Amino acid sequence: MPATNPPVARLQLGQLLRRLREESGKTQDAAAKILECQKPRISKIETGKATISAGDVRLLIELYGADETTGATVTELAREARKRTTARIPDWAQRYVALESIASSIQVYEPELIPGLIQTENYTRAITQAADPERSGEEVDRLVAARTERKSLLRGKSPLHLSAVLNEAALRRTVGGAEVMIEQLRHLREIAELPNVTLQLLPFTAGAHVAMGSSFYILEIQRPAKATVVYLESLTSGDYVDNAAQIERYALAFQQLQVSSSKETETATTLERMIKDLR
C-alpha cells in the first residue's frame, strides 16, 4: 500500500471502518461496547477526528468480520493515522492537503478565488497577505512555499485530473494589481492546455445558478481505500461531506455548473480578452 499522510489516513480509516460497520449490520453502540467507550468516540473515529489503537483496530476488524485483505488495509491506515504530521499549514487545512495529495481527480467550483493548484506564486502571496495583514513576511513565505509545492500534482507520470469551473468574478477581481493578475490569467491559459485539466468559465450572463454563494471541491480517491469526499472551506475552518446522498447532490450541482459555463474550447479566447482588458 502506498504511503500516505496522517490526516488523510485518519479520514480514510474512519470511512472504511464506517463502511465495514454498516455492511456488517452493526451499530455505533455495538462498536462502543466492544471498545468499552462512549458512542461519541466511535463517531469521532469514523469522521477522522480521532485515532485508534492497534488493539482496538483488531477488535473492530473481528466485530465487523472483515476479510484478511481489508483487515490489513485497516491496520496499515490506523498505523499511519497515529504518526505525527510535519505539514507546514494550519491544522484545520492539513486534512484537505493530505487528501489532495492522493486524489486521482478533483472537481472544483470557485466563485471568487483561483483554486490553489492553479495559482501563480504572486497571486498566492497577494491573497495570503490580504487574508491576514498582520502575518510576518516569514509566515507568508512559508505558506506560499507550501502551496507552491502542491502544484506539482498536475504534472508528472500520473498527474491529478482537475475539472474546474471558475466564476467570472474570480477572473475579473484584480488581485495583487494588474501585472499580477495578467500573469495569473496567462498561467490559467497555459494550464488549460494540459490534457488532465478541464477549465470552464461561468460568465456573469449565466445569471442565477445552482451554486450561488457556495464553493466546493469533490475529491475522488482510489487508494489505499476508495472514497469520495466533498470539501467546504470557510475563513477559519474546513468541513468534509462524506454522506452518499449529499455527495451526489454536489456532483449534480457541478454537472449543472458545467452546462451553464462556456465551452472548454472557448476558455483561451475568453482569458485573452480579459488580459487585454487589464493592459
Which residues are CB-contacts of 50 (< 8 A; sequence separation ≥ 6)? 10, 41, 44
Q: State percent of the chain over pLDDT 70.
A: 94
pTM of the model: 0.76
Is residue 167 predicted with pLDDT exceeding 90?
yes
Is residue 98 predicted with pLDDT exceeding 90?
no
Q: Could you tell me if 110 and 204 lie in one domain?
A: yes
Q: Could you tell me if 63 and 179 lie in one domain?
A: no
pLDDT at 3: 45
pLDDT at 86: 55
Q: Could you tell me if 64 and 201 lie in one domain?
A: no
Which set of grid coordinates corresponds to residue 270?
475568453
Is residue 1 predicted with pLDDT exceeding 60?
no
Identify whether 1 is part of a domain.
no
Identify whether 158 is part of a domain.
yes
The CATH number given to whatever domain includes residue 76 is 1.10.260.40
The per-residue pLDDT of the chain, averaged, comes to: 90
- pLDDT one-digit tens code per residue, 142-165: 888 888 888 889 998 889 999 999
Which of 73, 43, 79, 75 lies closest to 59, judged by CA?
Answer: 75
Which of 4, 239, 164 lies closest to 98, judged by CA?
Answer: 4
Listed residues 81, 111, 133: the one ending a domain? 81
Average pLDDT over residues 68-85: 88
CA distance 267 to 201: 7
Is residue 31 predicted with pLDDT exceeding 50?
yes
pLDDT at 214: 93
pLDDT at 145: 87
Is residue 8 predicted with pLDDT exceeding 50?
yes
Q: Could you tell me if 19 and 98 lie in one domain?
A: no
Listed residues 59, 81, 103: the one ending a domain? 81
Identify whether 44 is part of a domain.
yes
Which set of grid coordinates corresponds to residue 24?
456488517
Average pLDDT over residues 133-138: 90
Identify whether 86 is part of a domain.
no
**Domain limits at 70?**
6-81
Q: Could you tell me if 176 and 221 lie in one domain?
A: yes
Identify whether 52 is part of a domain.
yes
Q: Could you tell me if 97 and 230 lie in one domain?
A: yes
Q: Could you tell me if 251 and 174 lie in one domain?
A: yes
Average pLDDT over residues 85-103: 72
Identify whether 175 is part of a domain.
yes
Total structural domains within the chain: 2
Q: Could you tell me if 21 and 126 lie in one domain?
A: no
Q: Could you tell me if 40 and 158 lie in one domain?
A: no
pLDDT at 91: 63
Is residue 2 predicted with pLDDT exceeding 50?
no
Buried residues in 92-123 as b, exposed as e (16+ CB within 10 A): ebbbbbbbbbbbeebbbbbbebbbbbbbbbbb
Q: Could you tell me if 108 and 65 lie in one domain?
A: no
